[in-house]
Structure 1
């Protein structure tokens, strides 16, 4: 007997019964983001490794530990994309989009890949929905993007998700904060984990992002980045908060939040869910401003802001909500004898062409067994075809929820279904 082959650990199958939730979320995203003027892009799942080293940061855990990197047959170092911002930036630069329009708004959705320790809602192939806006440096662009996320979450009827804000300053004021932070961390070196002792020398902001409890305690008592903001960065952050308040969007200022990537300047934000289904992986999405990354990748000096949300985590929350996302068939057609199979096949084909959801068991079987399948399918109506129906061209629609059968001609089944299905229970 051949050995069974299983899927790769951390890379999950999505099957009917669950995929409908994913499709619903993706559909809502396309609807809401489209209303905000964002167009969809699709980038390759494989990129030059240098793209992520230069944008995400060589000292980040993503580049240092988590990327799926390999050498292709041409000797080039390639990586499965671990996030969506850098590929979008590469596409923006490569296609000279800045010469075509002053402000560009894109969104994307698809799989990302990171080899990391798995837990609830965090997998090695995971899915993100994200957006990027290029060309506007004003706080209004940051706020518009956060408003879009809020409206998207509201469209999913997700509750208890809070917005956390911070500002990391820019190249003018961040060096002073870095120096003070390193001085503080060195005084508490022995209290830090091994990774953070290394991060302290290479990228001290990463210490603030560590999930080790002792490191978090050290970070909580450290210098506050907001106290080091220069006047332009402070004005930007104040304007951001004022505009959010004007839109009625509630938020919490969290000066310890830095996000996990190197490219952010000024605004960073996260949407955090208070739900036990996610365990400790409570951040469902986040992002920020990255005004210097485009130039650093060899592109134009264009300001940008973006975010990404974990689709896996959103689906977990929606599963917990108990909502139904599968769409039941309008009709289940039952063929009670072999002679009615061709008629059933012809009728179901015609009804499907007319836009109706119709189920039909091509194996046939007894009337009793087929009615059981109809019940299991959740179909709103059934229609039984036998010799009498073939001969007369007449049949009866039976409402599965109960009630009197509805006489129909076989030519008028679609019309009758449309007239009565809205009254059928969901």
Structure 2
């Protein structure tokens, strides 16, 4: 027998029972970003491989191990995007929308792809909401990004479950001085480093700070600190960011080992982390990348942004019981019709109701069926109320109105009064 077809490991279907929560989360974020003056941009999910090699860094884990890369029929090397910032920078450069110092505040949503070991909250196709700002260089915009996420956690009921970690990586020059000091220190303790850290010492030494190996972490206790190598400009920028977070009352922790996994970051880096999802604790992260646009062929352009993982935040909402109760109900009212004449009238009546109550979730029965079978479907739909339309109701131009989830007797409502009655009952229900 042929093997049954299944989704690729780490690439999951999002089923109808799950999508209401996804839509709720995405809608909440979209409204928040609209309110702060951000505009949506949509980029392709496939880009030339060179884009990610030049932006992320050829010696990063993403480029070396995790990208989905293939040659197309023209012989071009293409890659499914592993993150959104590089693609967004490519888009603004290609269309010239940051030229002349134009400020752009952009956001995007969609799937990203990395060949990682699938586990809870981490998949090979995963979804992110990302945000990028260009041509603003002060700590005020860094603070705005963090303040927005803080507001989002409040709206979602997650503030008590997340912690903000901050660090500054300085400019490329100060980071270069720090890298030299770190390599000199770690080289003197080479025998105590794990194999992966020894490899990173030669290719991307700052990533050693992010190791999970206990023995290497013990060595890092006495390692040089990035803060001691910051230039005056970076130090002032970081102090300005902290002052603004203090003014708003957002708590944070300075994490000197926070470096992020991408080469393009400079100055501010931050992560929102949680202990509610096990080992994979980062739910939102980002920072400043002032040199990236120039690195990709544009003029010097300040940039800053973040990305949040939708899967992980949806898991948090479920784990902490923060899913709004109304999401469990997809239908407000279910209309049962018996007989062809009633079915025709039900279709017309339902459209009139939708005209008057555009936010009402009204489902009309399809496939006919007996009184018992239609009521069974009405109950299974989760609707609060059933509407009944048969020959008797048709003759009197009324509809039977029956509560399905609470107390109350069935009653008859005139067609021209139905919309007003539903508006009151559904809101109260």
TM range (shorter): over 0.9
2:287 is paired with a residue whose SS is strand
Match of 1:423 among 422, 425, 428: 428
Counterparts of 1:403 and 1:36, CA distance in 2: 45
Counterparts of 1:118 and 1:187, CA distance in 2: 36
Q: Which moved more, 1:405-414 or 1:28-37?
A: 405-414
2:173 is paired with a residue whose SS is coil
Counterparts of 1:14 and 1:220, CA distance in 2: 43
How far did 1:100 drift? 5.8
**Structure 1 residue 82 and structure 2 residue 79: aligned?**
no
Contact 2:389 2:400 in 1 (8 A): no
User: Which residue does the alignment assign to 2:319?
Assistant: 320
User: Which residue does the alignment assign to 2:212?
Assistant: 211
Counterparts of 1:215 and 1:20, CA distance in 2: 44
Counterparts of 1:48 and 1:220, CA distance in 2: 41
User: Which residue does the alignment assign to 2:363?
Assistant: 359
1:256 is paired with a residue whose SS is coil
How far did 1:168 drift? 0.9
Match of 2:389 among 360, 377, 385: 385
1:294-305 aligned within 5 A: 294-305=293-304
User: Which residue does the alignment assign to 1:237?
Assistant: 238
How far did 1:329 drift? 1.9
1:217 is paired with a residue whose SS is helix
1:403 is paired with a residue whose SS is coil
Indicate how the Cα distance of structure 1 residues 333 and 421 shifts in structure 2: closer, same or farther if over 3 A, else same.
same
**Structure 1 residue 66 and structure 2 residue 66: aligned?**
yes
Contact 2:178 2:226 in 1 (8 A): yes
- TM-score in terms of structure 2 length: 0.94
1:173 is paired with a residue whose SS is helix
Consecutive unaligned residues of structure 1, counting only runs of 5 or more, are none
**What are the Cα deviations for residues 24-80 of structure 1, in whole angstroms up to 9, with x where unaligned?**
111111111112111110011011111110110101000000000011111111100
Counterparts of 1:38 and 1:422, CA distance in 2: 32
Contact 1:219 1:256 in 2 (8 A): no
1:301-312 aligned within 5 A: 301-312=300-311
1:15 is paired with a residue whose SS is coil
User: Which residue does the alignment assign to 1:398?
Assistant: 402
2:112 is paired with a residue whose SS is strand
Counterparts of 1:98 and 1:336, CA distance in 2: 61
User: Which residue does the alignment assign to 2:143?
Assistant: 143
Counterparts of 1:352 and 1:214, CA distance in 2: 65
Indicate how the Cα distance of structure 1 residues 346 and 213 shifts in structure 2: closer, same or farther if over 3 A, else same.
farther
1:44 is paired with a residue whose SS is coil
1:188-227 aligned within 5 A: 188-227=189-228
Consecutive unaligned residues of structure 2, counting only runs of 5 or more, are none
Match of 1:343 among 345, 351, 369: 345
How far did 1:321 drift? 3.1
User: Which residue does the alignment assign to 1:126?
Assistant: 126
User: Which residue does the alignment assign to 1:273?
Assistant: 274
Counterparts of 1:317 and 1:136, CA distance in 2: 32
Counterparts of 2:343 and 2:98, CA distance in 1: 60
**What are the Cα deviations for residues 277-328 of structure 1, in whole angstroms up to 9, with x where unaligned?**
x110110011111111110100010111111010110100111233232443
Counterparts of 1:243 and 1:94, CA distance in 2: 34
How far did 1:337 drift? 4.4
User: Which residue does the alignment assign to 1:330?
Assistant: 332
How far did 1:92 drift? 1.2
1:259 is paired with a residue whose SS is coil
Counterparts of 1:405 and 1:336, CA distance in 2: 17
How far did 1:339 drift? 5.2
Counterparts of 1:21 and 1:100, CA distance in 2: 41
Counterparts of 2:290 and 2:330, CA distance in 1: 48
How far did 1:195 drift? 2.0
User: Which residue does the alignment assign to 1:35?
Assistant: 35
Contact 1:220 1:256 in 2 (8 A): no
Counterparts of 2:100 and 2:41, CA distance in 1: 16
Counterparts of 2:11 and 2:314, CA distance in 1: 16
Aligned positions, number: 422
RMSD of aligned C-alpha atoms? 1.7
Contact 1:93 1:300 in 2 (8 A): no
Contact 2:85 2:132 in 1 (8 A): yes
Counterparts of 1:65 and 1:329, CA distance in 2: 45
- TM-score in terms of structure 1 length: 0.94
2:92 is paired with a residue whose SS is helix
How far did 1:358 drift? 1.4
**Structure 1 residue 92 and structure 2 residue 97: aligned?**
no
